[in-house]
Amino acid sequence: AQKVTQAQTEISVVEKEDVTLDCVYETRDTTYYLFWYKQPPSGELVFLIRRNSFDEQNEISGRYSWNFQKSTSSFNFTITASQVVDSAVYFCALSEAFGAQKLVFGQGTRLTINP
């Protein structure tokens, strides 16, 4: 069975600090996808990134970066120079590459950026 663990329930930092959100996953599939979603107070899930299990290259998008390590089954998310607008709940998710492709989510990390 697939499982995603986000051990950090809540994180609070001061604006401009760097923050890393941890994600550890379990799957027996050799091909799968990993995701990060942001959920602002409005409730809608906002897609941030999708990563194929065969692509372990780190990715950077502006202040966001992702570190995928298959050896440790981790897919961590770092926000550099955090801003108040980054405050939200962040979810890591896992999906099989084929078949039903349902998303299995972690419990989420509530990130609060204080001015």
**Binding site residues, another protein, CB under 8 A:** 33, 37, 42-45, 47, 50, 91, 93, 95, 97-108
**Cβ closest to another protein, residue 16 vs residue 70:** 70
Closest approach of another protein to the CB of residue 9, in Å? 11
Residue nearer to another protein on the CB measure, 88 or 93: 93
**Cβ contacts of 44 within 8 Å, gap of 6 or more:** none
- Could you tell me the smallest distance in angstroms from the CB atom of residue 61 to another protein? 16
Residue 110: CB minimum distance to another protein, A: 11
Nearer to another protein, 63 or 102 (CB): 102
CB closer to another protein, 20 vs 101 = 101
Smallest gap from residue 73 Cβ to another protein (A) = 19
Name the residue type at position 56.
E
In angstroms, rounded to a whole number, what is the distance separating the alpha carbons of residues 30 and 61?
26
